Every structure is written in structure tokens, then in C-alpha cells.
Structure 1
Amino acid sequence: MSKRKKWILIISIPVLLIVVLGGGYATYLYKKTEDTVTDSHEDIGRKNKTSALREEKVDPVEDNVSVLFIGVDNSEFRNNQKSRSDALILATFNKEDSSVKLLSIPRDSYVYVPEVNRYTKINHAHFFGGPKATIETVERFLQVPVDYYAKINFEGFIKVVNSLDGIKYDVPYELWESDSNDDKNSIHLTPGYQKLNGEEALALARTRKYDNDIARSKRQREILKKIADKATSASSVFKLGETIDAIGDNMKTNLTFDDMKNFLSYGLDENISMDTIRLDGSGGYMEDGLWYYQVNDESKQEVRTELQNHLDIQHYTESNGSPENNKNNT
């Protein structure tokens, strides 16, 4: 064998091995993800499996859609107990513009909850009726359809971050915070750019003692983006199996595996844009002695209009097709 052929063989064998292993690993990840999503699927019992603000079921391939991300504490998953939502982020996806808008809804927002027919904190909706009641509340509040939801608990969040060997973030201030088991002041962070493990990232995402709900919502969006960037980086390719395991029993969603695959076009589009929007307002105590975040009416209407335009849907009003008046459809 000539020296040239030997070098071709030496180079070709590892390349072929990488291709074979890569293909096998991709197949493994595909099957693993499919099984995880199937096990995590939860139908919340909506008529025709669609929003009260939709005339027919949507398809992420053809339609502009929305996904509500719900963060809850660990107790519900561990002990089958009711819990309040700790984080609510609504994402809307526009196919034509290849764009995504993210809205963090302050957990103490004073809103009408259809499940109990009264006004209270928006995070109470999950306690009263789980994802279904939370979705109805968000739809009534923002007058936009919530097509899908994904709920993950703190343990899942922690495991995902740890499976990626942590994330790097610029901590804005020194903080002492409880961990996921509510051990007081067990998490201590100093200001500056640093690597955070799962517990530390969760503490930073949850803390409200050092600023306000608006700043907290911004941090949550930034931390989620850091996690997404790390998960899709080349350095994390062979950690994805562990990341999928981390999600496992810690997630519930009405997305099917096919639905999730249909969102792939957004992830593959290099020109995709992602904008964050916010609800302005102010906080204070009310007659019941509780602190609430009162969303400014003008800001609420601006956000409603922006989301409705992004989804390219009819501009609903609270007396025109709202979930409150169409509750028989859910």
C-alpha cells in the first residue's frame, strides 16, 4: 500500500467512526426525546383540544402560535399537592417574520381568575385549577389564545442547568437566598460574571428581595436564554442525553412530539429575531393585607395589541370572545 493510500485510510477511519457514532447518537437522542415527551404529555381537557379564542386547532408549521411556560415549586410533583406558579412566560411565534416575542407576567399581578370568579394574584390560578385555570386566566387577561403550555418544576430546572455543567451569568449584586428545599440563606452569590450551578441559577431567577418583579422577569428571560444558548452549543452535544433525562418526570405539557418537531424551523433559522416585552405597573398593599402588582391599563392594552398583531389575530375585547364569556368551550 502506498504512503498516500495509508494516509487516506488513517484519516478516513476516524471520520467514518465519528459519522457512525454521530448518527447512532442522533438516533438515540431522537428516540429518547420522543419517549420523554410522550411520558410528559398531559391533556387539560379543552374542547377540540384548542383555545377558546381559536376557531380550529393550530399547527406550528402553518400558523402563528403561542406557548405558555409555567414554573412551579417541587411539592406538586413530589407529593401530588397543589402549588402556585412561580414564573409565567408567554412566548408568541410568527412564521412569516420568523420572530418570537417573550412576555414575563409578574407573579403578583392582580387579575381576574375565571376558575374562582374573582380577582386575585395571577399565580393563584394554578393553585385553584392547575394549567387549565392558569391558561384561562392568561387568555382573559391578555386577550390572546394560549395554544400550548409547558410546565416544569424547580428540580427539573436545577437538573437541566447541572446537566449542562452550569451557565455563566453576570450577577448584579450580592445575594443570600434559600435553596430549592427552602434552607434559608444557603445560597450566597457575589456580584460579577461567573458560572452558576442549578441551585444558584434558580436562586438568582427567583429572588425578589433586592429589586422588583420587573427586574426579576428580565433576569428570568436572560437566564432562560443562557440555558438555551448553552444547550444548543457544540460543547453540549454529548450532554443532551443527560439534559433530556433531567426534564423527564419534571415536565408536563400538551405539546406532542410532532408539535415540538414543528417548532424546529424556528431553531434552524439563523435570521430569527427574539424580542422581550413587559407589563408596566406599580405595586402596593390592598385591603386584604396582601401585596399586588397593578398592571397599568395603557401598558396592558399596548401589550395585548402587540401580541395580537404578532399572532395576526382578531383584536378581542373583554366582552368580545373572551375566555370568560366562552368558558363552555374549555
Structure 2
Amino acid sequence: MKKTFFKTFFVSFIVFSLIWGGFIYKTVIKAQSEEDEDVYNESFIDRLMHDKDDITFLMLGIDSKDVKKATNVRTDTMMLCKANKSTGEVHLLSIPRDTKTHIRGRKNEEKINHAHVYGGPELSVKAVKDLLGIDLEYYVRVDYNIVKKFVDLIGGVEVYVPMDMKYTDPVADPPLYIDLKQGYQTLDGDKALQFLRFRKGYKDQDLGRIKAQQQFIEAVLEKTLRPGNIANIPQMIKTYYDYVDTNIPFDVMMKFAMNAKNFSPDNVSMATLPGEGEYIGNTSYFIVDKEECIKLVKTMFIEDKSVENIEK
């Protein structure tokens, strides 16, 4: 069974920067500013607070023992993320891994998740940039094990399991054993992975699974932002060093941390790239609906609504 639940990692990443940075600001920098207000008024933090409001980055989910050195592996999931530090709005766009597109340096169109094989996260960023016609330079690569670590770190996540979930695949990598009962419950890290990896049984198939994943995201975000999790910040830092690779500069992350109070699960919007599956020969592809894609990308990511340079 393929791992398609990496969209949940966005929450872990952004919340990490918000809580960690916000905690540093409130307990260290702010305290220092009270002692020396003149110095604070010209500080590094002040400059960050007046920087650009938006950040857009590509989330890449991979299966690798060392996420920082991962090569020659396909991405399991791609998600484009945009966050605004002033309004607290967050837009998430899932890009199906089988999306048929042009990849720089390749003769024929291929699945977009192949880009990481040929050129790592940098080429993946270029592929999405070309496909959607947007400005994009930042990426975040994550290993799926961060979900288990992070959920345990925040003391579990309260979710509603919509049905009995039972599935076994001992030859999967890692082996897959799912056994959950229907109802409201607190999932630890291991059970959270089971919940996210379960596919069979949803009445509306993929849409039902996506909805369940989105509810999980909201639950993780709400739990992580609780004041009681401040004590877990040191372990959060270690977890991210182990399981996250990003080219987002520290000062850029910090400017969002300074506005942690603005972010809320209610301000998160999610969508999937419009299109449909299609077999070409014996290969299954996701074919983008370019007209609908242009509309969606303009709404979610592009301030200049006249831009229409979606890949032709």
C-alpha cells in the first residue's frame, strides 16, 4: 500500500516554526526588550516583523532512511503550501503523484513524482513551478516517521474513526498492520499512522480518505498549539533535525513564528489539483484540467489574477 498521507506533515512543519519561534520570542527576546527597549527597536526581530507577509513552499513526502541525503527516490506526495503571517490564512494544494507533466531535461512528459529521482527537491520545485506558472523557490522534504514521533510528542491526537479499520500487509515497507475500532478516540503515533494509511472502506473512496486526513490535520494543529506543549519544544527541535530537510532560511521561518497568534485551524483551506485519471498505454496518469487549474491557482496562490501561464 502506497503512503499518500504526507499532506499531514505541513501542519507539523509550520506549527514547529510557530511554536518554537514564538516561544523564543515571548520568553527570551521580549524579556530582553523590556530591559533594553532602544536596542530592541532596532533589532533583528523587528526587521523580520516587517518583511513580506506570504511564504509559498513545496512539501515533499519521501520514504528514506536519511531525508537529508535522499537520492534516486520518488516523492510519495507533493503539496503546495502558502501561508500569510498577517492574516493567518493557509492554502494547501495537493498535487497527485501521477500528474503527467514536462520535467526539465527529459524528452517526454512523465509523472511529476519522477522529478525528485532526476534532480532531487530542486528539480521537483522547478517541475511544479513550470506546471502551475507560479513563483516558487522553497521546499520541505519530510520522512513519514515524523508523524509517529510528532503525535507521540504532543500526547496523541483526538479523532473520530469513521469505521472499523482492519488491514494487513506484512510485505509492505514498512510492514502494515491496521486494527482500529470505529468511534472517537485518542490515537498515539502508531495508531495515527494506521489511520492515515488506511484506504479501503470509505463510501466515496479517495474523497472520503482525504476528508479524514484533513480532519486529522485540524486535530494535530489544535493539539500542537496548546500551551501545555511548550515543554516539548526541545524534543520538537531534535525531531525536525532528524526528519525534515528544507531550504527555507531560518529568518524566514522566524518571521512567521513572531505571528503565531494569527494562525488557526479555521484559516486553513485545502484543495486538490483539478483533473482526472487516465490510462495511456499501460500506465496510469493524472491529467490536469488546465482551465480549472488556472482558476484555482489564481485564487489560492497568485495575487496578480491576470497571470495565466499554466503549462500548455
TM-score relative to the length of structure 2:
0.72
**Which residue does 2:4 correspond to in 1?**
none
Q: Does 1:144 align with 2:137?
A: no
**Which residue does 1:194 correspond to in 2?**
185
After the TM superposition, which residues 152-163 of structure 1 pair with which residues of structure 2 at under 5 Å, given as runs? 152-163=142-153
The 1:117–1:216 alpha-carbon spacing in structure 2 relative to 1, beyond 3 Å, is farther
CA distance in 2, matches of 1:293, 1:236: 40
1:134 to 106, 124, 127: 124
CA root-mean-square deviation: 3.5
The 1:314–1:114 alpha-carbon spacing in structure 2 relative to 1, beyond 3 Å, is farther
Q: Does 1:89 align with 2:82?
A: no
1:113 to 100, 103, 108: 103
The 1:292–1:196 alpha-carbon spacing in structure 2 relative to 1, beyond 3 Å, is farther
**Which residue does 2:58 correspond to in 1?**
68
Q: Deviations over 1:59-111 (max 9, x none)?
A: 98224331211111134539855221122221123466542211111222222
CA distance in 1, matches of 2:106, 2:287: 19
The 1:104–1:290 alpha-carbon spacing in structure 2 relative to 1, beyond 3 Å, is same
CA distance in 2, matches of 1:183, 1:91: 27
**Which residue does 2:40 correspond to in 1?**
none
CA distance in 2, matches of 1:174, 1:120: 37
Count, aligned residues:
267
Q: Mind listing any 5+ residue stretches in structure 2 that lack a counterpart?
A: 1-22, 29-47
**Which residue does 1:267 correspond to in 2?**
260
Q: Does 1:285 align with 2:276?
A: no
The 1:87–1:245 alpha-carbon spacing in structure 2 relative to 1, beyond 3 Å, is same
The answer to whether the 8 Å contact 2:298/2:304 transfers is no
Question: 1:258 offset after TM fit, Å?
Answer: 1.0
Question: 1:115 offset after TM fit, Å?
Answer: 4.2
The answer to whether the 8 Å contact 2:92/2:269 transfers is yes
The answer to whether the 8 Å contact 1:150/1:254 transfers is yes
Q: Does 1:256 align with 2:249?
A: yes
Q: Counterpart amino acid of 2:180?
A: L
Helix, strand or coil: the match of 2:159? strand
TM-score relative to the length of structure 1:
0.68
Helix, strand or coil: the match of 2:109? strand
Q: State the identity as a percent.
A: 26
Q: Does 1:172 align with 2:165?
A: no
The answer to whether the 8 Å contact 2:67/2:245 transfers is no
Q: Counterpart amino acid of 2:222?
A: D
Q: Does 1:294 align with 2:287?
A: yes
The answer to whether the 8 Å contact 2:81/2:90 transfers is yes
**Which residue does 1:276 correspond to in 2?**
270
CA distance in 2, matches of 1:180, 1:273: 40
2:231 to 238, 248, 257: 238
The 1:291–1:314 alpha-carbon spacing in structure 2 relative to 1, beyond 3 Å, is same
The 1:307–1:134 alpha-carbon spacing in structure 2 relative to 1, beyond 3 Å, is same
**Which residue does 1:38 correspond to in 2?**
none
The 1:251–1:116 alpha-carbon spacing in structure 2 relative to 1, beyond 3 Å, is same
CA distance in 1, matches of 2:24, 2:171: 34
- Which structure would you say has the larger Rg? 1
The answer to whether the 8 Å contact 2:158/2:187 transfers is yes
Q: Mind listing any 5+ residue stretches in structure 1 that lack a counterpart?
A: 1-25, 32-57, 323-330
CA distance in 2, matches of 1:29, 1:182: 42
After the TM superposition, which residues 16-31 of structure 1 pair with which residues of structure 2 at under 5 Å, given as runs? none
CA distance in 1, matches of 2:156, 2:170: 16
Instruction: Please say which of residues 269-278 and 187-196 is displaced more in the overlay.
Output: 269-278
**Which residue does 1:19 correspond to in 2?**
none
Question: 1:217 offset after TM fit, Å?
Answer: 4.3
Helix, strand or coil: the match of 1:188? strand
